[in-house]
Amino acid sequence: MKYMVAGHEAFDTFEFTELALGVEHQLFAGVPGESETERAARLDAARDMLPDLADEDPELAAYAQLLMRQAPIPLRHPIPVRRRAFRTGVAA
């Protein structure tokens, strides 16, 4: 079954939500692998957009706030473990 919204085909539920509501899901929920600076910039833009969205559609603004609260915290990059140098000498 194909999902069509205003003549555009949605391939998954996120695209369907974006087309139906007119709000990009990734702006509020984030994307996997984004850096801390990208995340901070995205959240600033989303917070700036929320008051306008609340004026236009309070229910949609509540959905956007829910996405922001439930968005996963970005995974930190693992710190590489150093290996000990292989020594061939005799212990004293």
Q: Which domain holds residue 26?
A: 3-70
49 assigned to some structural domain? yes
- The predicted model gives 6-21 an average pLDDT of 63
- Work out the number of other CB atoms within 10 angstroms of the CB of residue 25: 18
Cα dihedral across residues 38, 40, 43, 49: positive or negative? negative
Phi, psi of 78 (to 5 degrees): -70, 145
> Is 41 contained in some domain?
yes
- CA torsion, ordered 33, 26, 72, 62, to nearest 10 deg: 170
Query: For 31-87, what is each residue's pLDDT tens digit?
Result: 888 888 988 888 888 888 889 888 988 888 888 888 777 765 554 555 666 666 666
* pLDDT recorded at residue 73: 56
**For residues 76 and 20, which has the higher predicted lDDT (pLDDT)?**
20
Q: Does residue 21 lie within any of the structural domains?
A: yes
Number of domains in the chain: 1
Which pLDDT score is estimated for 1?
A: 43
Nearest CA-CA partner of 41 in 18, 82, 74, 17: 74
Inside any domain, residue 86: no
Residue 66 falls inside a structural domain: yes
